[in-house]
């Protein structure tokens, strides 16, 4: 896992974008605890943010170096995402195997290797695990389909940027590529949409790429130049209008019961999210940006990755049936436990590995990553799964 110190200019810290992460993760948590039916759209906000931030990083590296060091980029992504994910995989699997119902143990051991390989979205689809089927057997890792989509994007998109971002008007070519990919992706979603079960188009990488690519479009120089020509007063009013439009979508969306989402609604939402990101960057002093920069919301944004990783296993393992809690009391418990675990992950695992531990870079980092992957493989192979239930039909 090679690495070099990036020489590209650093992006100024943007507090409002941290706040957007915080809003997104809270929305998803409220969705999974039954408090906000449209809260799953927070995932699309995450996607647009990721497309914006990652593409901006890549373009700055192209500007500074004339190219992209793919091994260094992938090494940084692995150090950012893999340690916290590995901790969740190990801890949750151990708890489920020790105290979970047999069905839950089987799905956990079945899904875990695919989470490790960052292709769990395709595994769930192959296993006919409908994302919107809330009455099936619980799976503690099913929410990680979105992490798999992002990881697959991180694998492919830098290569495309490296190819097209050459010579003059490099950013314009990146913008056109991202726009074309967005159109193709939403066209696939519309073409493959199955009203009976939209899981394929909702969790498939090809049909969700537009959310990430629209974020990538907004960070390119042509769009930044267009925003620069917009007065800050107008940008501020536009931000309020976009937030209102997003609020309407979040209030109307109801998953598989809203077929309009899969025939253009998700694309419209992602476009609005990307525009909001661009407006917040352009006018960091607007009313919307100031609200998003509120310290508690920013802090939640800082732990949003780990909070997302932990919240669904907490929902499953501390279910209302297990705790006896209902309604907002259960939501508060899930929020408190998930936030506590996310904070521990950030301060004890993520930050030390990202900023202070030197041996995770270079050749030693590669060996450490290989050892981690091998250790997780041993976990999946070493834990015995309960035998499937058999029904004796001979006496019927």
Q: What does the pLDDT read at residue 390? A: 57
Whether 82 shows a pLDDT value over 70: the answer reads yes
- Asked whether residue 9 is assigned to any structural domain, the reply reads no
Weakest mean pLDDT among 70-74, 274-278, 335-339: 70-74
CA distances (Å), origin 92, targets 95, 98, 109, 173, 341 = 5, 10, 11, 44, 12
Higher-pLDDT residue of 277, 134: 277
Q: What does the pLDDT read at residue 385? A: 83
- Asked whether residue 388 is assigned to any structural domain, the reply reads no
Whether 395 shows a pLDDT value over 70: the answer reads no
Tell me the per-residue pLDDT of 10-66, one tens digit each, with 9 for 90 and over: 566 789 999 999 999 999 999 999 999 999 999 999 999 999 999 999 999 999 988
Element holding 119 (H helix, E strand): none
- Asked whether residue 8 is assigned to any structural domain, the reply reads no
Range of the domain at 25: 15-382
Domain count of the fold of the chain = 1
DSSP track, 32-87: HTTS-TTGGGHHHHHHHHHHHHHHHHHHHHHHHHSS--HHHHHHHHHHHHHHHHHH
- Asked whether residue 77 is assigned to any structural domain, the reply reads yes
Whether 313 shows a pLDDT value over 90: the answer reads yes
- Asked whether residue 390 is assigned to any structural domain, the reply reads no
- Asked whether residue 208 is assigned to any structural domain, the reply reads yes
């Amino acid at each position: 896992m090679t690495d070099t110190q990036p020489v590209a200019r650093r992006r100024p810290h943007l507090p409002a974008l941290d706040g957007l992460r915080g809003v997104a993760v809270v929305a998803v948590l409220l969705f999974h605890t039954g408090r906000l039916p449209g809260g799953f759209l927070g995932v699309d906000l995450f996607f647009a943010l990721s497309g914006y931030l990652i593409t901006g990083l890549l373009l700055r590296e192209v500007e500074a170096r004339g190219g992209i060091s793919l091994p260094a980029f992938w090494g940084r992504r692995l150090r950012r995402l893999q340690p916290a994910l590995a901790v969740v995989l190990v801890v949750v699997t151990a708890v489920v195997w020790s105290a979970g119902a047999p069905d839950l143990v089987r799905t956990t051991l079945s899904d875990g290797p695919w989470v490790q390989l960052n292709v769990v979205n395709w595994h769930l689809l192959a296993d006919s695990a409908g994302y919107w089927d809330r009455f099936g057997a619980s799976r503690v890792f099913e929410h990680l389909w979105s992490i798999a989509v992002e990881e697959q994007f991180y694998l492919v998109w830098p290569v495309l940027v490296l190819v097209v971002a050459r010579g003059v008007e490099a950013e314009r070519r990146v913008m056109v590529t991202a726009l074309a990919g967005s159109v193709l992706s939403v066209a696939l979603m519309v073409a493959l949409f199955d009203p009976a079960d939209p899981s394929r188009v909702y969790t498939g990488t090809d049909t969700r790429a537009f959310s990430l690519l629209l974020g990538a479009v907004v960070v390119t120089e042509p769009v930044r130049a267009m925003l620069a020509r917009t007065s800050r007063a107008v940008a501020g009013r536009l931000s309020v209008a976009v937030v209102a439009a997003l609020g309407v979508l979040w209030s109307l969306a109801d998953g598989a019961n809203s077929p309009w989402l899969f025939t253009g609604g998700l694309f419209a939402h992602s476009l609005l999210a990307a525009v909001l990101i661009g407006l917040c960057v352009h006018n960091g002093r607007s009313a919307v940006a100031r609200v998003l920069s509120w310290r508690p919301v920013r802090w939640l944004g800082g732990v949003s990755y780990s909070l997302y990783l932990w919240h669904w296993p907490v929902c499953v393992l501390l279910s209302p049936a297990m705790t006896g809690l209902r309604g907002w009391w259960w939501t508060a418990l899930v929020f408190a436990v998930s936030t506590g675990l996310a904070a521990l992950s950030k301060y004890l695992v993520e930050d030390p590995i990202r900023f202070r531990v030197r041996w995770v870079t270079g050749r030693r980092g590669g060996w450490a990553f290989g050892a981690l992957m091998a250790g997780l493989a041993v976990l999946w192979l070493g834990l015995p799964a309960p035998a499937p239930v058999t029904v004796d039909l001979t006496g019927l």
